[in-house]
Amino acid sequence: MVWDELGRDASDDNQRDRDRWIGVYIGVLAVILAICSMGGGNASKEATLKNIEATNVWGFFQAKNMRRHVLRLEVDELELTVLSNQTLTPEARTAVEAKIADYKKLDTELTSNPKTNEGLDELFTRGKALEAERDIAMRQDPYFDYGEALLQIAIVLGGVALISTGSMLLIGSAIMGVLGALMTINGFTLFLNIPFIG
């Protein structure tokens, strides 16, 4: 045994110091795991929310597009009526032409309406933007999942290393911890696109 100047076993002090540092290390891993878990939960919720919003916008888009199509068919029919029916009185012809003009104006508003932001052009842009946000969140989520798994394994290995005093377990824990932290960072930033993950 190696004794320190106070007559205590120095190897016990070294072991206590090692155990304290491993405890701090496990605490840091737990904090990173909590952040990773929060990021994964947020990404999952964001993907679901944006998917619902995009679905609603596309449903509205389809309804407006159907309405515009019906209007265009009605305009075609009224224009053919004006051309083919020579018995229309001037008043009737004027009324039909006014209705055609109203329908064409409504067709234009259905196609684009920046004032309400609910024309087909605006809805298309909104739908595509929501899909893009959903796709980003869906790409983030797997990185958080892998990050959580790696960090949990790192914590378990660190705990076993604390009990068994094994250095190889601690090294394995450190490798898993670093990989888990990198996956977490990549989940937030999408800096790297790792095949078969995101």
Instruction: For residue 9, give the 3-state DSSP assignment.
Output: strand
**pLDDT classification of 105: cutoffs 50, 70, 90:** very high
For residues 88 and 33, the answer to whether their CB atoms sit within 8 Å is no
**Residue whose token pair is 């911890």:** 177
- Check whether 43 has a pLDDT greater than 60: yes
Instruction: For residue 86, give the 3-state DSSP assignment.
Output: coil
- The structure tokens listed for 73 are 């068919």
- The structure tokens listed for 149 are 């798994």
As a whole number of angstroms, the longest Cα–Cα distance in the chain is 122
**pLDDT classification of 100: cutoffs 50, 70, 90:** very high
Spans of all domains in the chain: 10-189
- Check whether 1 has a pLDDT greater than 50: no
Contacts 24+ apart (CB under 8 A), 65-71: 65/120, 67/110, 68/107, 68/110, 68/111, 68/120, 71/103, 71/106, 71/107, 71/110
Q: Which pLDDT does position 68 carry in this prediction?
A: 96
Q: Which pLDDT does position 14 carry in this prediction?
A: 79
Q: CB-hemisphere CA count at 13 Å for 89?
A: 3
Residue type, 30: A
Instruction: For residue 194, give the 3-state DSSP assignment.
Output: coil
Q: Which helix (H) or strand (E) holds 27?
A: helix 10-84
Calpha distance 141→42 (Å, rounded): 9
CATH architecture of 10-189: Orthogonal Bundle (1.10)
Q: Which pLDDT does position 9 carry in this prediction?
A: 55
Residue type, 10: A
**pLDDT top residue among 4 and 104:** 104
What is the residue-averaged pLDDT of the chain? 91
Q: Return all residues near 33 (Cβ < 8 A) that are at least 6 apart.
A: 148, 151, 152, 155, 180
- Check whether 165 has a pLDDT greater than 90: no
Rounded average pLDDT over 7-36:
84
Q: Which pLDDT does position 197 carry in this prediction?
A: 78
pLDDT tens digits, one per residue of 137-163: 999 999 999 999 999 999 999 999 888
pLDDT tens digits, one per residue of 59-95: 999 999 999 999 999 999 999 988 888 888 989 989 9
For residues 8 and 152, the answer to whether their CB atoms sit within 8 Å is no
- Please state whether the predicted TM-score (pTM) of the whole model is above 0.85: no
